[in-house]
Amino acid sequence: MDSRPVGIFDSGVGGLSVLREFRRLAPAESVIYFADTANFPYGPRPPADVRKHAFAVVNRLLAADVKLIIVACNTASAAAIADLREAFPVPFVGMVPGLKPAAQSSRSGTVAILATPGTLDGDLYSRVVADFGGERRILNLPGHGLAELVERGQAGTPAARAAIRETLGRAVADGADTVVLGCTHYAFLAPSIRAEFPGVALIDTSEAVARRAVAVLGELGLAAPADGTGTLDVIVSGDRSRFREAAERLGFAPAHEEALT
């Protein structure tokens, strides 16, 4: 048994979608969540820049003696997770766009991948499409401005719904019946997407990634004692009050305020 914390990081509030699932599945685990808001958004940045920031965050988490790191960001996973695994002696769990379940469940054969440019242009995404795209028609949809809306705590606003209509409308009209949420920020847009396009199925991998992290902890003998209660600490590289406000608007309790450093 290992009581050390698990590290989770993202460029902002998006990774809270993974944090929520991980804490639900593993309430005994302590967590340090790192929101790299000083460098948000990762999506439009060159891969080398994303890798630089990811390495800096991981070094900070390792200084806090974390036992496993969840890269709760699709862009950072695409740009950096292979290098992180090679460079650091801790296990990593990253995000992979959920094309496999989307391709299996789509009835129309047309799947839309809603993701950042950094994810869509990466080698990891290309391999996923090659492995699981099959005969499906794959529509790549860069979510320009959507992560920024979520980061401002505006996930359920009229502005968010208008942006969703603009981004997804043509793909849905063109036959897409399944949308992969290829950015952790987009999980918070799911209610608005369902309201705008009620016939479309959404694939969100937040729970699957959290479940994989729990499995890795068990496989490696790193799980915390099951009778304990995990703690949560939050590190924010940028404006703490802005992060706190956005997190609260997305449904996270004010208890985060006590943990902010």
Identified catalytic residue from 171, 179, 183, 232: 183
CATH architecture of residue range(s) 99-204: 3-Layer(aba) Sandwich (3.40)
What's the CA dihedral at 79, 85, 5, 252 to 10 degrees?
A: 20
Return the domain boundaries, the chain: 6-95+207-259, 99-204
Do the domains 6-95+207-259 and 99-204 sit in the same CATH topology, yes or no? yes
Nearest CA to 125 out of 108, 110, 142 is that of 142
What pLDDT does residue 127 have?
87
Question: Which among 183, 146, 148 has a CA at the least distance from the CA of 165?
Answer: 146
pLDDT at 131 (0 to 100): 86
pTM of the predicted protein model: 0.93
Catalytic (active site) residue 109: no
6-95+207-259 placed in CATH 3.40.50.740: no
Give residue 259's pLDDT.
54
In this predicted structure, what is the pLDDT of residue 258? 44
Q: Where are the alpha helices (DSSP H) in 178-235?
A: 190-196, 206-219
The answer to whether 73 touches 147, Cβ cutoff 8 Å, is no
Q: Is the dihedral of CA 183, 77, 19, 204 positive or negative?
A: positive
pLDDT < 50 stretches in the chain = 255-258
Q: Which two tokens stand for residue 107?
A: 């009835």
* pLDDT at 257 (0 to 100): 44
Give, in degrees to the nearest 5, the angle at Cα 83 between 55 and 210.
80
204 neighbors 98 (Cβ within 8 angstroms) = yes
Q: What distance in Å separates the CA atoms of residue 141 and residue 100, rounded to the nearest whole number? A: 17
Residue 258: count other Cβ atoms within 10 Å of its Cβ. 9
Q: Which of 13, 18, 71, 73 is catalytic?
A: 73
Whether 183 is a known active-site residue: answer yes
**pLDDT for 106-160, tens place per residue?**
999 999 999 998 888 888 888 888 888 888 999 999 999 999 999 999 999 999 9
How much is the pLDDT for 253? 63
